[in-house]
Amino acid sequence: MTPRTRAALVGGVTVAVLIAAWEAAVRMGDLPPFVLPAPSHVAATAVGSAPLLGPHVLTTATEAVLGLALGATVGWLLAVLTATIPTTGQVAQPVVLLSQTIPTVVLAPLMILWAGFGLTSKVVLVALTVFFPVLIASSAAIRDVDAEHADMVAGLGGTRRHQLWIVRLPASVPGALAGLRIAATYAVGAAVVSEYLAGASGIGVFIQRSRKAYAVDQIFVGIALIAILTAVLVLAIVALRRALTPWQPAHARL
Amino acid sequence: MLAVRDLTVAFPPARGKGDATVALDRLTLEVSRGEFVAVLGPSGCGKSTLLRAWGGLLVERARVSGEIAVPRASDGTRATAWMPQRDGLLPWRRALSNAMVGAIAAGVPRERALPRARALLVEFGLGGFEDAWPHELSGGMRQRLALLRTCLTERPVLLLDEPFGALDPVTRRRMNAWLASVGLVSQDGERAVALVTHDVDEAITLADRIVVMSGRPGRIVHEVQAHGESRYDREALLASLDA
């Protein structure tokens, strides 16, 4: 057995034991389903409401993916710009830091007022959550490689433009992807929270409606969907890293 | 071809307190066309600073006085190519593509550089490794690739900063024997090479002339030309290093 399959097996068994314990606790404790439904009950609800769930999942997934793309692009460009023209970094830094002292959830009502109940406000909110880790990770990646390699290019006769194209831009890619990998774990959560406040569709809307109907089993279905969606996003980004940074050893890409 | 006259380089202290570090003190040295000169000196004697001065790589805060003369191309750009102590290979480029960085940075057209790069890869013992990632190459191969990258600039002056300093002694000796056989310069050639090293044997194997520098601040304390079969008096060189 390889260490990887062993790790996967141990993880799977742990989850199975936890779910079994939950099931047993509900049955033996005789808890009413509107307080804590058993996993089997949640699974049955999920199957029953599946046709209803499709559009909700699609909405949230769209918001998360577009928000990730927008936030990652802005964060990456800002990192490259800052490394190329230090003044932009000095201008951007206070704004960036200030934006991080305000939780994005707090900004959600404003975004909804400005950009409406639809897709735009949620994409912007996800992007606001995502850009910071991408910016930080890209900047760090550029800094790590910079002095030595930039000197190498200059010593061979290269200009500042060569330093940008040959060294800084490619150096930032693994950093940006590492930041994106971290950001992906927040993206779905940020989309769902903004849906709590307003919207006609999305997992957040589904959860809010279920809460109003005291359908605790449906809330659990919503939570499970968020977890699955996040896992799918993270795996997609891991695959993207494998494709875009083929020189990196596998352990550095997780 | 390549010269410094009364070159003094000092670095102000990083935090603005204390004395400036004088790396080079009124150094005068000339390298002629077709010459391979080794600058030999202990660590920290300023020999890397000398190469950086020629390569146009001194940091902004360095205080420089004296004259630095380097040959220039018709468009005014420096005709020097500098090879760093660490190979500086880019991890995201394969071997051939890393070598081509020299051509790109120096503005050598791709259609001319690419066939030359392929030919040199074979000559440098890297044939068959065109598509290898740098981390797949041994230390000696990485240094040879870095040297190949430097050669692809097609610039007449090569500035080599301890090119094999990061290698183990056995590999370094083998690399030096190989480099001597490649013949980077010839007496009637257009090229000149300035190499800095702290390794006496490296200097003896490679150079037509050896310049020995003192510890910081760097000054020239000894200078010898290779002659005859034995080329250099090794003991005398070692003694001048210790002086």
Instruction: Confirm whether B66 is domain-assigned.
Output: yes
A49-253: CATH superfamily: MetI-like (1.10.3720.10)
Are B56 and B116 in a shared domain?
A: no
Do B218 and B174 share a structural domain? yes
Listed residues B125, B155, B185: the one ending a domain: B155
Single out the residue in B111, B128, B155 at which a domain terminates: B155
More confidently predicted of A236 and B185:
A236
> Phi-psi bin for A174: left (phi > 0), alpha (psi -120 to 50), beta?
alpha
When the pLDDT of each residue in chain A is averaged and rounded to a whole number, the result is: 88
- Residue A156, chain B, CB below 8 Å: the answer is yes
Where do the structural domains in chain A lie, given as residue ranges?
Answer: 49-253
Higher pLDDT, B222 or A151: A151
Model confidence at A113: pLDDT above 70:
yes
Residue B206 near chain A (CB below 8 Å): no
Mark whether B180 and B230 lie in a shared domain: yes
Please tell me the predicted confidence (pLDDT) of residue A250.
63
pTM above 0.90, yes or no: no
ipTM score assigned to the predicted complex: 0.87
| Residue in A with minimal Cα distance to B59 | A151
**Best mutation site among B75, B90, B159 for testing chain A: the one with the most A CBs within 10 Å?**
B90
Residues 172-201 of A with CB under 8 A from B: 173-174
- Residues B145 and B185 both lie in one domain: no
Is there a contact between A167 and B55 if contact means CB atoms under 8 Å apart?
no
Asked if the structure places residue B85 within a domain, the reply is no
B84 touches chain A (CB under 8 A): yes
- Cβ-nearest to A148 among B77, B88, B149: B88
Residues B21 and B96 in one domain: no
The reply to whether B116 and B234 lie within a common domain is no
B84 within some domain? no
Does A249 touch chain B if contact means CB atoms closer than 8 Å?
A: yes
| Partner-chain contact A162 B105, CB within 8 Å | yes
The domain total for chain B is 2
For residue B25, the domain's CATH number is 3.40.50.300
CA distance A115 to A128: 14
- Asked if B37 and B101 sit in the same domain, the reply is no
Q: Is B169 on the interface with A (CB under 8 A)?
A: no
Q: Grade residue A135 by pLDDT with cuts at 50, 70 and 90.
A: very high
Residue of chain B minimizing CA distance to A163? B105
Q: Mind listing the pLDDT tens digit for each residue in B156-180? A: 899 999 888 778 888 888 888 888 8
What domain range includes position B105? 90-155
- What is the 3 state secondary structure string of chain A? CCHHHHHHHHHHHHHHHHHHHHHHHHHHHCCCCCCCCCHHHHHHHHHHCHHHHHHHHHHHHHHHHHHHHHHHHHHHHHHHHHHHCHHHHHHHHHHHHHHHHCCHHHHHHHHHHHHCCCHHHHHHHHHHHHHHHHHHHHHHHHHHHHHHHHHHHHHCCCCHHHHHHHHHHHHHHHHHHHHHHHHHHHHHHHHHHHHHHCCCCCHHHHHHHHHHCCCHHHHHHHHHHHHHHHHHHHHHHHHHHHHHCCCCCHHHHC
CB–CB of B105 and A158 under 8 A?
yes
Residues of chain B found within 8 Å of residue A173, distances taken between Cβ atoms: 92
Mean pLDDT of A47-54: 90
The model's pLDDT over A190-220, given as tens digits with 9 standing for 90+, comes to 999 989 888 889 999 999 999 999 999 999 9
Residues of B in contact with A248 (CB under 8 A): 91
Residues B223, B206, single domain; the answer is yes
Q: Are residues B51 and B62 in the same domain?
A: yes
- For residues B192-211, one letter each, b for 16 or more C-beta atoms within 10 angstroms of the residue's C-beta and e for the rest, the string is bbbbbbbbbebbbbbbbbbb
Taking CA atoms, what residue in A is nearest to B148?
A: A156
Task: Report the residue of B49, B50, B72, B82 to disrupt the A interface, i.e. the one with the largest count of A CBs within 10 Å.
Answer: B82
Most confident of A34-43, A66-75, A141-150, A173-182: A66-75
Asked whether residue B236 falls in the same domain as residue B160, the answer is yes
Domain edge (last residue) among B115, B132, B155: B155
pLDDT band at B62 (very low <50, low <70, confident <90, very high): confident
**B34 and B98 fall within a common domain:** no
pLDDT score recorded for residue A237: 92
Q: Which of A148, A158, A248 sits opposite B84 (nearest CB)?
A: A148
State the smallest CA–CA distance between residue B152 and chain A in angstroms: 9
Residues B211 and B114 reside in one and the same domain: no
Least confident range of A94-98, B50-54, B126-130:
A94-98
